Structure 1
Amino acid sequence: MEAAITKVIPNIDPVISEYSVGYLKHASTSTAPDADQELQDAINRVTALLYDAAGGSLEPKEVSNLIEKLASQLVSLNGAKGKTSTVARKLDQTIHMASQKSMSATMNLMAGGVDLEAANSRKVESKVDKKKLEKAERKIKAKQDKKIHKTVEYEASKLIANPDSGASYEEFFMQVNPLQIGSAAGKSKDIKIDNVDVSISGKRILSDTSLTLAYGRRYGLVGQNGIGKSTLLRALSRRELAVPKHISILHVEQELAGDDTPALQAVLDADVWRKILLADLDTITAKLTDLEKRKAENPDFDESAREDLDAQLSDTHNKLAEMESDKAESRAASILAGLGFSPERQKFATKTFSGGWRMRLALARALFCKPDLLLLDEPSNMLDVPSITFLSDYLQGYPSTVLVVSHDRAFLNEVATDIIHQHSERLDYYKGGNFDAFYATKEERRKTAKREYENQMAVRKHLQTFIDKFRYNAAKSSEAQSRIKKLEKLPVLEAPEDVYTVSFKFPEVEKLSPPIIQMTGVSFAYNPASKPIVQNVDLDVQLDSRIGIVGPNGAGKTTVLKLLMGKLTPTTGLVSQNPRLRIGFFAQHHVDALDLTMSAVGFCAKMFPGKTDEEYRRHLGAFGITGTTGLQKMELLSGGQKSRVAFALLSLQRPHILVLDEPSNHLDVEAMDALSLALNGFEGGVLMVSHDVTMLRNVCKRLWVCDNGTVEKFDGTINDYKRRIMEQAGEGGVVKQSHHI
């Protein structure tokens, strides 16, 4: 039966499945007068327990059906054996346990259903207050019933992608986000939720903490990889946490499904109620026109229906005016332009865009809808520097609440008004400051807590030493008692957390004579008849190079990397490499190269055999994959942890040149600092495409700008490049973008 539970909930703790089966077996064999109710209580409690253990991966009905089936099997099994063996019988005489030579005979009597309690002449009354016990049990049952029958009322991520096969986007939107224009007036849009508990797959993410989001503030949610930040966002978007229903939520998590709808219209259609009101407006206008026509044909025509239509028309106009419908198209076009969609591209069908660009469409739809709570999960991962610059500027003027998970320091410094630090199953708040202020305050808090703890431990040690020495000394006993009381009154302080550190380490590099990699007059087009993506490129990479390639998405940055590595053949020009050169490539979509059904240790052994498991574990440990993490299936790892595995595999190649395509995606701040430090200490060359300003600033000594079919060396820093982007934005109204997608 435990196997049946494990089959449905593969990641369940064996202790939980064993306990659940044992509890059901006990209840199914009960002979008490209320045995049926006892079994039903057991079914309810085990169902609630297993639903929690499933971590939301199963519907309540699925768990309930499983337990009902197991209970029925147990009842049938016990019925088949007969009930005579479980009926208690009273002994003819009292048995004195002390007189028995061994326990085996007594156990045999018990197995035969002997009622030893009845055999004892002295009854011991229970000291448990039965009324209090029943009241407590009723409270527990009510809480469990509420939890197990709770339904997910709102899953905002589905408003950005597809809802489900049974409902259209519009139907789902109307069902979970009712039109409340005017009805929320005067209601607070602050969010304050106490006693927050969040779990996933049996792992506790948050425990008895508080979530506080003041309306209009912009919160940066930070914490180390795998701590559960994305899980918290999903719980909010699905209203698994008690967010007031008059507060609208949108969560940008999944890419938009492509169809024949033009990009601009897809953004406009995201506001379903505007779309419905416009359709209603057309219907009412058509009916009024028809009435006017009938009136002209028949002067005696009854116009009583006109008053109702006039009232509906006025109400519809008021609702559209309140949502500023007349400005919708220009606002949608402006958002799309800022995210890199040229006026021509805004007319293209959504199905013609790649996954990354559909993610931008999902973001554009959320910004257009202007929800009361906007949830963004690492938005900079799908954007280039110009688009991040636009988004940062846009969010700084956003009127509602923003909660964004990001590890981009520069982005958080510009956007966040407050920082929430998720760690140790709780949330700590750092109000009124950007990321740099948070980091300084957090470190100061840690040092203060450490000093307080160490000082108290010293005091405790001093008092305990005196107590141990003089507790039984008659002359000093009163002083010892005084110190005991003083010791008992000291507050209990928790030991401060260890400082979270990550260290990356790349291997030593053997020297090569130049040229290492050189591009001369290179042009490339996937179709010889089409316009080249890049043309007349002259570049070189050496073992001491630290080069960052920047520019709009679609301008050809990744194409340049593939030409340098020899993965693409230039249409014209020459790419030369040292014949002994080894290149390590970190792909933007590196997860596609991982076998997620294997552990990190097993995958390393498969790709680079010849070492022991302990050696692979030590190597992974150098990239932050420590403890048992390296033995878990990689599908259970967070995005940042998968990135670390990819870097560990890269290191095993012992490369001369590291070519990195968006290396900072998914890494937490500490991991990005460790990566920057490791890259600076790497003896080979580094060539990276990145949108992370901090990473580019810390690592790269030279910038190449890829745009408009060219790749040119940029004389200046990443800050100079951002200033140039903003100047272009000021001239053109939005950040200028390449038309290559």
Structure 2
Amino acid sequence: MASCADILRSEFPDLDGELFAYVTGILHGSGADFESVDELEEAVGELLREVSQDTKDDGAIREICQRLFNTLQLDDGQAQRCSQVLLDAPIQLSQITDGYGDASTDLLPGLLLKRGQTSTLCSVSQMVNAKKLEKAEAKLKAKQDKRLERDSLKSSGPPVLEEASASQASSKKETRMESSGKNKSYDVRIENFDVSFGERVLLTGADLNLAFGRRYGLVGRNGLGKTTLLKMIASQSLRIPSHISILHVEQEVAGDETPALQSVLECDTTRESLLREERDLTAKISAGRGEGTEGARLSEIYAKLEEIEADKAPARASVILAGLGFNAKMQQQTTKEFSGGWRMRLALARALFARPDLLLLDEPTNMLDVRAILWLETYLQTWQSTILVVSHDRNFLNAVATDIIHLHSQRLDMYRGDFENFMKIKEERLKNQQREYEAQQQYREHIQVFIDRFRYNANRASQVQSKLKLLEKLPVLKPVDKESEVIIKFPDGFEKFSPPILQLDEVDFYYEPSHYIFRSLSVSADLESRICVVGENGAGKSTMLKILMGELAPVRGIRHAHRNLKIGYFSQHHVDQLDLNISAVELLARKFPGKTEEEYRHQLGSYGVSGELAVRPVASLSGGQKSRVAFAQMTMPCPNFYILDEPTNHLDMETIEALAKALNKFRGGIILVSHDERFIRLVCQELWVCENATVTRIEGGFDQYRDILKEQFRKEGFL
């Protein structure tokens, strides 16, 4: 069988020696990493098309790539036959072509050109797309590194979870501007980049342009890579100018002896450094150890502190903490005294106080109650620098976002305006694209009818040829790629029960006798109830749910539940209840043994966890996909009453809408805790406000509750 070198020589007899070395270098060095002909074609196919100068069509190039792939796969040991005329390393064409602007035509003697041709800058730049080559090299290197890591760990322990990676074509112009220090813009431009998670490609050839001072909402289905994209930006895996400060609110603040207010103030490193130096100099002067220059330096420090308004920093930090729910006492508590949810709030407070040039937020409303969300919306509306926020809260995006970025089909689409405007424009775009596609299909059919009719008519030969050329020149339009509809269905467990179904009567409850969570609490629900519980974090919402379920016993009073009542419970910490090391199918099999794999798959499929997702380790799923697994597990026994604690956290908007529809169709009772305004309006008919150690039913529903919060803000000076 012919070697790779033989194939290249026979198919491209005029291929330049250096380019021949480059291609064979890729094939030889990365042959074991090509798992399909598609990957090989992605690496060298575009290059072969360009050097063939249109003498070979896509089908011919594909056939050549298939022959090369077959040769490499025949025998790994014989793959070294492709190593003829190898250089020590692949040629970095982007570095060679960096001097084009200097008109140095002697830099590329004969490279990429047929023998005997004159080297010209125009022909070289047209024949090779250096950015594509760099991206191909980056992908191959990443794949090789992963293979080496995988091989080294095969015999040393359990499999390692997949990791995200990014590759980006370099811009010599931006590199020169960065190194020279001339780039002073705070706009973020990331062009022609790819992002992958393990073997899955999340983005390809994407562009992201963030204008300074605008607030961008990043939306898209669960599992498409929104959180991964934020991590790639924050880790600088995608290039951002070094003078732009980035802060990603991702991890909770570590618990130590630092008071919450001081933890926020420490984010201003300039202020902290000046204050520390001021204390040291003052101590030196007081101890008589000065050298005479301390007074002048102190004057400089005081001037700088005044310039940055250091004296106003504690008040500003306190306002941010108060808005996020930290009262005066909590602001003085040490960070180790707070739970994980409150430490995440503290991380958000630190980010808001630090005021980075680019603030990255991933589902910030998940950790907040309705009051804190309303405050955050108001605060971010006056934010001066750039925000990129992932959120599935439509009302939050409508209040905050000036632009929407839609991640779908491995690309990013930009839309001006809030979320509602995005939905209107997107729908209109899809309609226009479909109309354009259908119109072109009709036009193509009309031309084809003429061609078929007169194909063998000598008198019409010229017209047929003209029509054929016209068909070839028509752009290839694709039908609209509509996202599949999300469908969720809760199995009915409805039975006619005589009341009372579920109630608490004059219940008192506390964890410590000195602090009552509830006093004389009396509430009730039936199989037709659609109740939402709201209130500030720490007011006792989750505690009341646990009392209703019987997980916590009242200190005084009575809990009554009908003997046939079957409650399904969704915890806001549902991920903690899942075994992350096994697949979703195995999870259900262990929890509910005795059924077939097909039955488990059908149950998971009802919540959008189908195909390969169902057999992947749960740990590798996105937050929204884990939530769907938890729903599948919760509904398996067919409960007739659901108690849901923050069920929309991590779900994308389409799934939230589907969840609302499913709950409305469910024939049974529902009590839920939620901060998602739209979800509450879609599902709930009653609103219970948890505060002051009791629960109050608000007749005016969510509108009245929102008005109450706004009035509180006005009294507290937030609005």
Same fold by TM (over 0.5)? yes
1:386 and 1:627 mapped to 2: Cα distance? Answer: 40
Alpha-carbon distance, 1:651 to partner = 1.7
Amino acid at match of 2:368: L
Q: Which residue number corresponds to residue 548 of structure 2?
A: 564
1:41 and 1:586 mapped to 2: Cα distance? Answer: 55
- Say which SS state the counterpart of residue 515 (structure 2) adopts: coil
1:185 and 1:384 mapped to 2: Cα distance? Answer: 44
1:631 and 1:280 mapped to 2: Cα distance? Answer: 58
**CA 1:200 to 1:142, structure 2 compared with 1: closer, same or farther past 3 Å?**
closer
Q: Which residue number corresponds to residue 350 of structure 1?
A: 335
2:711 and 2:183 mapped to 1: Cα distance? Answer: 41
1:215 to 212, 216, 237: 212
**CA 1:267 to 1:128, structure 2 compared with 1: closer, same or farther past 3 Å?**
farther
Q: Which residue number corresponds to residue 407 of structure 2?
A: 422
Q: Which residue number corresponds to residue 544 of structure 1?
A: 528
Alignment of 1:63-462 (within 5 A): 144=137, 187-287=184-284, 306=292, 309=294, 312-431=297-416, 433-462=417-446
1:717 and 1:137 mapped to 2: Cα distance? Answer: 60
2:305 and 2:139 mapped to 1: Cα distance? Answer: 39
The answer to whether the 8 Å contact 2:534/2:541 transfers is yes
Amino acid at match of 1:711: V
TM-score, normalising length: structure 1: 0.74
- Say which SS state the counterpart of residue 548 (structure 1) adopts: strand
Q: Which residue number corresponds to residue 481 of structure 1?
A: 465
**CA 1:625 to 1:144, structure 2 compared with 1: closer, same or farther past 3 Å?**
same
2:603 to 608, 612, 619: 619
1:635 and 1:441 mapped to 2: Cα distance? Answer: 36
**CA 1:662 to 1:712, structure 2 compared with 1: closer, same or farther past 3 Å?**
same
**CA 1:365 to 1:128, structure 2 compared with 1: closer, same or farther past 3 Å?**
farther
The answer to whether the 8 Å contact 1:337/1:734 transfers is no
- Say which SS state the counterpart of residue 476 (structure 1) adopts: helix
- Say which SS state the counterpart of residue 251 (structure 1) adopts: strand
Amino acid at match of 2:369: D
2:507 and 2:411 mapped to 1: Cα distance? Answer: 54
Q: Which residue number corresponds to residue 155 of structure 2?
A: none
- Say which SS state the counterpart of residue 644 (structure 1) adopts: helix
Alpha-carbon distance, 1:289 to partner = 5.6
1:327 and 1:446 mapped to 2: Cα distance? Answer: 51
1:388 and 1:407 mapped to 2: Cα distance? Answer: 13
1:148 and 1:463 mapped to 2: Cα distance? Answer: 47
Amino acid at match of 2:617: K
The answer to whether the 8 Å contact 1:421/1:429 transfers is yes
1:14 and 1:186 mapped to 2: Cα distance? Answer: 41
1:24 and 1:272 mapped to 2: Cα distance? Answer: 56
Matched-pair identity in %:
49
Q: Over residues 371-409 of structure 1, what are the superposed CA-to-partner deviations in whole Å (9 max), with x where a residue is unaligned?
A: 111110000000000111111111011111111100001
Unaligned runs of 5+ in 2: 1-32, 41-68, 93-112, 143-179
Alpha-carbon distance, 1:208 to partner = 1.2
Q: Over residues 226-281 of structure 1, what are the superposed CA-to-partner deviations in whole Å (9 max), with x where a residue is unaligned?
A: 01001111111112222111111111001111001111111111222221121122
Q: Which residue number corresponds to residue 494 of structure 1?
A: 478
1:502 and 1:538 mapped to 2: Cα distance? Answer: 38
Looking at both structures, which has the greater relative contact order when contacts are Cα pairs under 8 Å and sequence separation is at least 6? 1
1:449 and 1:390 mapped to 2: Cα distance? Answer: 40
The answer to whether the 8 Å contact 2:698/2:704 transfers is no
Amino acid at match of 1:336: L
The answer to whether the 8 Å contact 2:251/2:344 transfers is yes
Q: Over residues 24-51 of structure 1, what are the superposed CA-to-partner deviations in whole Å (9 max), with x where a residue is unaligned?
A: 856878997x88x65x769x9xxxxxxx
The answer to whether the 8 Å contact 1:657/1:684 transfers is yes
The answer to whether the 8 Å contact 1:421/1:427 transfers is yes
Q: Which residue number corresponds to residue 725 of structure 1?
A: 709
**CA 1:128 to 1:365, structure 2 compared with 1: closer, same or farther past 3 Å?**
farther
1:473 and 1:626 mapped to 2: Cα distance? Answer: 55
- Say which SS state the counterpart of residue 608 (structure 2) adopts: coil
Q: Over residues 267-317 of structure 1, what are the superposed CA-to-partner deviations in whole Å (9 max), with x where a residue is unaligned?
A: 1112222211211222334455667x88xxxxxxxxxx646x455444433
**CA 1:436 to 1:142, structure 2 compared with 1: closer, same or farther past 3 Å?**
closer
Alpha-carbon distance, 1:582 to partner = 0.4
Amino acid at match of 2:262: Q
**CA 1:645 to 1:482, structure 2 compared with 1: closer, same or farther past 3 Å?**
same
**CA 1:517 to 1:614, structure 2 compared with 1: closer, same or farther past 3 Å?**
same
**CA 1:146 to 1:223, structure 2 compared with 1: closer, same or farther past 3 Å?**
closer
Q: Over residues 79-125 of structure 1, what are the superposed CA-to-partner deviations in whole Å (9 max), with x where a residue is unaligned?
A: xxxxxxxxxxxxxxxxxxxxxxxxxxxxxxxxxxxxxxxxxxxxxxx
**CA 1:456 to 1:318, structure 2 compared with 1: closer, same or farther past 3 Å?**
farther
The answer to whether the 8 Å contact 2:493/2:638 transfers is yes
1:580 and 1:484 mapped to 2: Cα distance? Answer: 73
Amino acid at match of 2:231: R
1:428 and 1:238 mapped to 2: Cα distance? Answer: 23
**CA 1:273 to 1:27, structure 2 compared with 1: closer, same or farther past 3 Å?**
farther
1:592 and 1:673 mapped to 2: Cα distance? Answer: 25
1:424 and 1:547 mapped to 2: Cα distance? Answer: 38
**CA 1:447 to 1:512, structure 2 compared with 1: closer, same or farther past 3 Å?**
same
Alpha-carbon distance, 1:532 to partner = 1.3
Residue 623 of structure 2 is aligned to residue 639 of structure 1: yes
Q: Which residue number corresponds to residue 700 of structure 2?
A: 716
1:382 and 1:608 mapped to 2: Cα distance? Answer: 32
**CA 1:362 to 1:24, structure 2 compared with 1: closer, same or farther past 3 Å?**
farther
- Say which SS state the counterpart of residue 533 (structure 1) adopts: strand
- Say which SS state the counterpart of residue 691 (structure 1) adopts: coil
1:567 and 1:663 mapped to 2: Cα distance? Answer: 19
1:538 and 1:186 mapped to 2: Cα distance? Answer: 64
Amino acid at match of 2:495: K
Amino acid at match of 1:512: K
- Say which SS state the counterpart of residue 344 (structure 1) adopts: helix
Q: Which residue number corresponds to residue 642 of structure 2?
A: 658
Q: Which residue number corresponds to residue 662 of structure 2?
A: 678
Residue 535 of structure 2 is aligned to residue 535 of structure 1: no
2:317 and 2:668 mapped to 1: Cα distance? Answer: 46
Amino acid at match of 1:247: I
Higher-Rg member (1/2): 1
**Segment drifting more, 210-219 vs 309-318:** 309-318
Alpha-carbon distance, 1:615 to partner = 2.5
1:317 and 1:185 mapped to 2: Cα distance? Answer: 32
The answer to whether the 8 Å contact 1:583/1:658 transfers is yes
**Segment drifting more, 464-473 vs 252-261:** 464-473
How many residue pairs get aligned? The number is 592
**CA 1:465 to 1:196, structure 2 compared with 1: closer, same or farther past 3 Å?**
same
TM-score, normalising length: structure 2: 0.76
1:697 and 1:530 mapped to 2: Cα distance? Answer: 37
